[in-house]
Amino acid sequence: MAQHLPPDAPVASLTDCAHIRMHLDAFADGELTAFDAHDHPLTELVGAHLRVCEPCARLEHALQSLRAALHALGRREQVTERASDALRRRVAQLLASR
Ligand SMILES: [Zn+2]
């Protein structure tokens, strides 16, 4: 996807969107620890890009939302699992009391 960044944008932000998006998932997870070819932390590179590139910033926001949703879903599944554990115990009790 071609992006037209302002000519005075920081050099780091001139990295193309496809490259930034490869790292966006890890960035949103706070797990981006790699460095680029010039020893700049990729978090800085991606952060600088997100400040000047609205589509990528929106995507990062969507990833954060997705992450929050998955987190909430994960919690709900834990609750469900606890419920089914209790149910299994109850069934076992019922079977044992026959
Ligand atoms: Zn971009």
Contact in structure between 20 and 51 (CB atoms under 8 Å): no
Give the distance (Å) from ligand 1 centre to CA of residue 10: 13
Q: What residue segments make up the domains of the chain, in order of their start?
A: 11-73
How is residue 11 annotated by DSSP? Answer: G
Give the distance (Å) from ligand 1 centre to CA of residue 88: 50
Phi, psi of 41 (to 5 degrees): -60, 135
Enumerate residues 6+ apart whose C-beta is below 8 A from 55: 1, 3, 17
Please state, in angstroms and rounded to a whole number, the distance separating the CA atoms of residues 27 and 64. 10
pTM score, two decimals? Answer: 0.59
Give the distance (Å) from ligand 1 centre to CA of residue 69: 24
Res 4: pLDDT:
58
pLDDT digits 0-9 by tens, 30-58: 899 988 888 889 999 899 999 999 999 99
Give the distance (Å) from ligand 1 centre to CA of residue 8: 15
Give the distance (Å) from ligand 1 centre to CA of residue 36: 17
